[in-house]
């Protein structure tokens, strides 16, 4: 309850005294509870000690953007009542097999320091981290009864034994997310135990894992978990899921069931999807199987065709029946024709992903997608917020069109494939300038080209018009060190940068880093590396860790002959802001350059 109301004279207080001191703590709690935006939370935490304390107590979720940036003990000290935590580990390159398993990003120190003391922890998400069975056991021991969400995203190092433990002990679990994890499969009992012990599950995802499960256990899960909304599984023949679909009445989101016997439509005729399904992804679906979707295609909001055997013509036919799509994920077999259909039909589209297909041209009908398809999509789908595309050809005009028509773009990623020898409209300087100038909401940007794809001027444009972009991945851009420096000067808000296959020197990289005031993380692979990386010390400064992976022996030999560095694909540089000092768990092929060991 509150304290005294000030007497009438004190009501007319001077501006210089703290008016919020008259607010009881509970009220300030309630005020800050309504403050969600990260920037606002940051500001609130700096106002004064009282606000700092109450911000820490009312913040529901914290993300540790890079696990080596801070110590777990510091997180605990500042946010002792945290309910939800996310930690990110290995560089994104790990997703493309470029980071060996022993690189680091171990979950162990975080679990050891936090699992027990964080009394209110209900949700944990780890991305690209090394997680062992012991780590999961420690987590479950401390938090099992309270855990509502466990997300292990692209993690590795654990087995189904850990999942059994989770299944047995975490009876409050609503979300179990394991997408793209490398999990040692010691048997499918974990799913049976999950189905038997849990009745609250809403989301289960073990998509793109190699786990083998029994359809009967999925059916049991559906029967016991009436609120199951989302299920994404590893491969399992769709015809075995008839029972599951019958039981899973509330299901809205399904991915992973495979058509093992392509062409045998009679086998799949019995498959009836639950009535509310509107997010769908089916593996190995071919022309003959496609009709299973037709009855409810108009209610589909999300469609994943990345793992299907559909031709360009199939895509045209199917997508023309899906006018309510918000999210579409395809391979570039969709072709420009398919993208035209998307532009004509999918007026509500927000996210579009066009993955690369098999590079064997025999399997793909069309020559991939080009400026024609992208322009058609831009013109037709004005609500697009996310575009990721592997293209075979692109023009400045297409980039300009995207800028003109897709004003809501938040995330844009373009990769120019090596398929076509000649790409006529290079460099893309003017196109990228137009796109960046127009799309003021852009926060994430990736541009991966080929030599000649972007000149130093174009690279300078990217920096100049970077606006509020926080993350960039650039590959094969620019011509010289000068381009990089000019780019860096423009990037006032860039926080995270990944560079691949570029011609820049170590000295230029160092100087560029020093030009970017908001940069807290840079990763480079494929550049003119020296044997020792010592030129990187030009960017040495407090709270800035520099880790170096030397070039390949072949490149070292060439350097000895030529007297200067060549572009090497093996050398890597990782540099990042850290309050935890140099990390102590580097593998022997990574050399910490700063702080000195």
Partner 1 sequence: MAATTADGSKVVGGGEKSNVDEESKMITLFSSDGERFEVTQEAAAMSQTIHHMMEDGCVDDEGVHLPNVGSSILAMVIEYCNRHVASPDEKEDIRSFDAGFVNVEHHTLFDIIRAANYLDVKELMDLCCQTVADSIKSKSVEEIRELFGIVNDFTPEEEAEIRKENQWAFE
**Distance of closest approach, residue 38 Cβ to partner 1, in angstroms:** 5
Q: Before 52, cis peptide (omega within 30)?
A: no
C-alpha closest to that of 503 among 485, 536, 537, 477: 477
C-alpha closest to that of 72 among 103, 118, 131, 104: 118
83 vs 240 by CB, closer to partner 1: 83
Token digits of residue 349:
């589209």
List all residues 6 or more positions away from 17 whose beta carbon is below 8 Å from its beta carbon: none
**Distance of closest approach, residue 522 Cβ to partner 1, in angstroms:** 13
C-alpha closest to that of 576 among 531, 516, 529, 507: 516
**Distance of closest approach, residue 136 Cβ to partner 1, in angstroms:** 24
C-alpha closest to that of 38 among 20, 67, 61: 61
Maximum Cα–Cα distance across the chain: 87
72 vs 257 by CB, closer to partner 1: 72
The backbone torsions φ and ψ at residue 581, rounded to the nearest 5 degrees and listed phi first, read 75, 180
326 vs 410 by CB, closer to partner 1: 410
**Distance of closest approach, residue 45 Cβ to partner 1, in angstroms:** 6
419 vs 443 by CB, closer to partner 1: 443
Residue 404 to residue 267: CA distance in whole angstroms: 48
Residue 223 to residue 139: CA distance in whole angstroms: 28
Cβ atoms 268, 290 nearer than 8 A: no
Cα 105 to chain center, whole Å?
A: 16
Residue 293 to residue 282: CA distance in whole angstroms: 10
8 vs 553 by CB, closer to partner 1: 8
**Distance of closest approach, residue 39 Cβ to partner 1, in angstroms:** 7
**Distance of closest approach, residue 267 Cβ to partner 1, in angstroms:** 49
For 294-307, what is the HEC assignment?
HHHHHHCCEEECCC
Length of the chain: 597
356 vs 583 by CB, closer to partner 1: 583
**Distance of closest approach, residue 13 Cβ to partner 1, in angstroms:** 7
Residue 58 is inside which H or E element, if any? helix 49-58
Cβ atoms 340, 319 nearer than 8 A: no
Cβ atoms 297, 318 nearer than 8 A: yes
Interacting residue ranges for partner 1, rule: CB under 8 A:
1-5, 8, 11, 13-20, 22-24, 26-27, 30-35, 37-40, 42-49, 51-52, 62-65, 69-70, 74-75, 78-79, 518, 520, 543, 577-579
**Distance of closest approach, residue 382 Cβ to partner 1, in angstroms:** 27
Token digits of residue 366:
């069309």
Q: How many CA atoms lie within 13 A of 465 on its CB side?
A: 21
**Distance of closest approach, residue 46 Cβ to partner 1, in angstroms:** 4
Residue 376 to residue 344: CA distance in whole angstroms: 8
66 vs 259 by CB, closer to partner 1: 66
315 vs 520 by CB, closer to partner 1: 520
Pairing of strands 444-448, 253-258: unpaired
154 vs 520 by CB, closer to partner 1: 520
62 vs 265 by CB, closer to partner 1: 62
Pairing of strands 351-355, 386-391: parallel
List all residues 6 or more positions away from 21 whose beta carbon is below 8 Å from its beta carbon: none
**Distance of closest approach, residue 32 Cβ to partner 1, in angstroms:** 7
C-alpha closest to that of 427 among 447, 402, 403: 447
74 vs 246 by CB, closer to partner 1: 74
C-alpha closest to that of 183 among 215, 210, 214: 210
**Distance of closest approach, residue 580 Cβ to partner 1, in angstroms:** 9
18 vs 102 by CB, closer to partner 1: 18
**Distance of closest approach, residue 120 Cβ to partner 1, in angstroms:** 16
**Distance of closest approach, residue 5 Cβ to partner 1, in angstroms:** 5
Cβ atoms 371, 394 nearer than 8 A: yes
108 vs 580 by CB, closer to partner 1: 580
């Amino acid at each position: 309850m509150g304290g005294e109301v000030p007497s009438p004279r004190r009501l007319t207080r001077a501006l210089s005294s703290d008016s919020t001191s008259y607010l009881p703590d509970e009220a300030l709690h309630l005020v800050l509870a309504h403050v969600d935006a990260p920037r606002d939370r940051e500001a609130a935490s700096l106002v004064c000690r009282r606000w700092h304390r109450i911000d820490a107590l009312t913040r529901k979720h914290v993300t540790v953007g890079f696990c080596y940036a801070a110590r777990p003990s510091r997180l605990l000290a500042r946010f002792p009542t945290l309910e939800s935590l996310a930690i990110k580990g290995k560089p994104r390159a790990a997703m493309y097999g470029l980071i060996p398993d022993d690189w680091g990003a171990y979950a162990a120190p975080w679990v050891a320091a936090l699992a027990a003391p964080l009394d209110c922890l209900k949700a944990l998400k780890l991305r690209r981290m090394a997680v062992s069975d012991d780590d999961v056991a420690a987590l479950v021991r401390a938090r099992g009864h309270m855990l509502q969400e466990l997300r292990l995203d692209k993690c590795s190092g654990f087995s189904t034994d850990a999942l059994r433990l989770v299944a047995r002990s975490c009876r409050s679990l609503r979300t179990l997310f394991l997408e793209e994890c490398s999990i040692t499969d010691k048997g499918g009992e974990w799913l049976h135990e999950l189905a038997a012990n849990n009745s609250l599950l809403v989301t289960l995802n073990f998509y793109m894992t190699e786990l083998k499960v029994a359809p009967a256990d999925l059916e049991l899960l559906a029967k016991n978990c009436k609120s199951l909304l989302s299920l994404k599984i590893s491969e399992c023949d769709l015809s075995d899921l008839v029972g599951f679909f019958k039981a899973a009445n509330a299901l809205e989101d399904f991915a992973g069931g495979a058509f093992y016997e392509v062409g045998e439509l009679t086998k799949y005729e019995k498959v009836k999807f639950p009535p509310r399904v509107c997010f769908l992804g089916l593996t190995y679906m071919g022309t003959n199987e496609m009709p299973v979707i037709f009855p409810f295609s108009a209610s589909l909001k999300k469609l994943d065709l990345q793992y299907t055997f559909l031709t360009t013509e199939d895509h045209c036919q199917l997508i023309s029946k899906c006018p309510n799509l918000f999210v579409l994920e395809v391979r570039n077999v969709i072709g420009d024709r398919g993208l035209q259909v998307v532009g004509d039909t999918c007026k509500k589209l927000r996210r579009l992903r066009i993955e690369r297909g098999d590079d064997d041209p025999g399997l793909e009908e069309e020559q991939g997608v080009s400026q024609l398809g992208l322009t058609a999509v831009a013109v037709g789908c004005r609500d697009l917020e996310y575009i990721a595309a592997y293209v075979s050809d692109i023009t400045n005009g297409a980039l300009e069109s995207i800028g003109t028509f897709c004003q809501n773009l938040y995330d844009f990623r373009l990769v120019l494939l090596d398929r076509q020898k000649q790409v006529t409209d290079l460099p893309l300087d003017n196109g990228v300038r137009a796109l960046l100038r127009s799309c003021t909401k852009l926060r994430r940007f990736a541009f991966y080209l080929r030599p000649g794809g972007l000149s130093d001027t174009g690279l300078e444009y990217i920096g100049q018009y970077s606006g509020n972009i926080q993350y960039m991945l650039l590959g094969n851009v620019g011509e010289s060190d000068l381009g990089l420096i000019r780019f860096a000067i423009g990037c006032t808000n860039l926080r995270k940068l990944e560079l691949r296959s570029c011609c820049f020197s170590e000295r230029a990289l160092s100087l560029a880093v020093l030009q970017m005031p908001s940069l807290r993380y840079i990763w480079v692979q494929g550049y003119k590396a020296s044997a020792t990386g010592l030129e990187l010390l030009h960017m040495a400064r407090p709270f800035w860790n520099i880790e170096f992976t030397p070039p390949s022996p072949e490149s070292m030999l060439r350097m000895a002959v030529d007297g200067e560095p060549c572009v090497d694909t093996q050398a890597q540089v990782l540099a990042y802001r850290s309050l935890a000092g140099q990390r102590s768990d580097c593998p022997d092929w990574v050399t910490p350059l700063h702080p000195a060991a």
